[in-house]
Amino acid sequence: MKYKTINNKPSVNLTEFVDYQSLLDLKPYLNYAVVKTNDTAQPSRYDHRQFYGNDEKVNGLLDVLPKWKNSTEYPFLDDLRDHDQLASWVSLQEDVLFGHHSIQVIYCKSWATRHLKEHCVPVPETVKYFQPLLDWVEDQNIFSQYGRVVVYVSLPGTKTLTHFDHYDPNVKDEFIWLNLDQRKKFYVFDEETETKHYLKGNVATFDDSSWHGADPMEFSTWSVRIDGVFNDEFLKKSNMYDHFRS
């Protein structure tokens, strides 16, 4: 996997280009929102090829999930499918890797179009709690439009396994990543030098086709990813215009 950068940097610190204090002021409420919606959290879904150093003896969740999607072996599986809890059951039933749990605030119908509003759907039971966060995003004028919004929940001792999201040299995903308390030691990994480049700042972005992950957590925490289409004004003031629009 080739290590990729933005402006020759493993990640870009965007904190100075937004009103971060107003976001930080929301943190106590957002902690509440995470608690209120944590019962919807699902294990993140990857296949074994996306994990760094996996010798393929251990499956990712996506490698195993299909065999249970239409299984009639256990009658209660229909109830899990109806409530989108099948992946959680599979993570207990099978030996699988999945990294972390995620709360879908705005859900994407297709991975390839997760940055487009028309292809994404707000999740009623979660979006109502995260509306203040969405209002903040709108106020910052970061995106011309945005789609998927997902919250990643990490408990003490868990880690985000080193993985890549995709490998397409023609795709440059546009998103922001929020980490308000810096408890999550998130990094972009250079395989050639075996170097972890830790993200700086509380609002950032990076090339998600590079290996990336997070060290084991000392304390409970959460982070947020918002996929969209950066507007030109934000790209210019953050010095990313040439990277994304050339």
Q: Which domains are assigned to the chain?
A: 11-43+99-245 (2.60.120.10), 45-97 (no CATH)
**CA count, 13 A, side-chain hemisphere, 157:** 0
**Burial group, residue 231, by CB count within 10 angstroms (0-12, 13-18, 19+):** middle
3-class DSSP assignment, residue 175:
strand
Q: How distant, in Å, are the alpha carbons of 146, 154, 197, 233 from that of 210?
A: 22, 21, 11, 26
Is the pLDDT at 139 greater than 70? The verdict is yes
pLDDT, mean of residues 51-61? 82
Enumerate helices (H) and strands (E) in the chain, giving the number of each: 9, 14
More confident residue, 161 or 225: 225
pLDDT, mean of residues 106-126? 95
What is the reported pTM?
0.94
pLDDT of residue 133: 98
pLDDT of residue 116: 96
Residue 53: pLDDT band with limits 50, 70, 90: confident
pLDDT of residue 4: 92
Are 174 and 244 in contact, with CB atoms under 8 Å apart?
A: yes
Q: How far apart are CA 52 and CA 124, in angstroms?
A: 35
Query: Taking the chain, what is the end-to-end CA distance rounded to the nearest angstrom?
Result: 23
pLDDT, mean of residues 139-158? 96
pLDDT of residue 56: 61
